[in-house]
Amino acid sequence: MRAAPWIGTLPPMHPFRRVIALFASVTLLALPSCGSLGLLSSTSGEFVSDEQPHQLEPSLTTRLFDYEDNNTADIVLSDLDEATLADASAWEHANGQVIHARMFVQPRPGRTPIEKTACTVTLRYIVLAGEGEFGIYAGGGFLIPDGAPDGNRFSGSIHNATLRLVSATPGFKDLIGSGTLGLDFRARRDEDTVRRATRNADFLAFGALPTEANPLLVNED
């Protein structure tokens, strides 16, 4: 990530401000890069292949969630509209991408490890290719929420999520294999659409062929 060039001439910096600036610089250097954190806009994400020179960058115009408690929430992000997400028959002919993220623990400072190996969210990334063809990538990552998912709005960011293709229809063309996903999101609560969309994802998983050495991943509900 390249920093924007300075424009004009800056005035001399007060010694105290120099200390603050130095502290901020050291803090930023200690953090992972923006590419690793996946700090993108609230309407898009990036799924980059680890195996091939390809990546998926969906425009996530539909962003919904529902929650069971402060630690458990389902987030559905997609470039499909809500009516299509809720209609199982529409998925067969749709071309689009659906991300289902399930947060199973809310990170707490001093209690939850914040590192690349930590996992607080499971993910399914579904690519609908039309004519009944699709592929399902699944894995996990680290979700840092901006607050508890106990209202009408929920936002946060998913970091260092690793996914791989776990099941697909025979005609699906896999361009990713395995890869890394990062995104920011701001979602509104919609219990009915989230329930229908996640159920539709389960039906797809049951109808697809698992890839070698990978089980089908579905909700138990």
- Over residues 70-84, mean pLDDT: 96
10 falls within a domain: no
β-strand 178-189 against 62-69: which pairing, if any? parallel
For the question of whether the overall pTM of this predicted structure is more than 0.85, the answer is no
Instruction: Note down the domain range covering 126.
Output: 35-210
**What is the count of structural domains for the chain?**
1
1 falls within a domain: no
Say how many CA atoms lie within 13 Å of 44 toward its Cβ.
Answer: 8
85 falls within a domain: yes
Q: Which residue has the tokens 């089980």?
A: 215
Residue 117 φ/ψ, nearest 5 degrees: -85, -10
d(CA 195, CA 205): 16
pLDDT band for position 116 (50/70/90)?
A: low
27 falls within a domain: no
140 falls within a domain: yes
d(CA 27, CA 212): 43
- The torsion defined by the Cα of 175, 176, 182 and 183, in degrees rounded to 10, comes to 30
pLDDT in tens, 123-167: 999 999 999 999 999 999 999 899 999 999 999 999 889 999 999
193 falls within a domain: yes
23 falls within a domain: no
Q: Judge contact between 97 and 209, C-beta under 8 A.
A: no
Q: Number of helices (H) and strands (E) in the chain: give both, helices first.
A: 5, 10
20 falls within a domain: no
pLDDT band for position 25 (50/70/90)?
A: very low
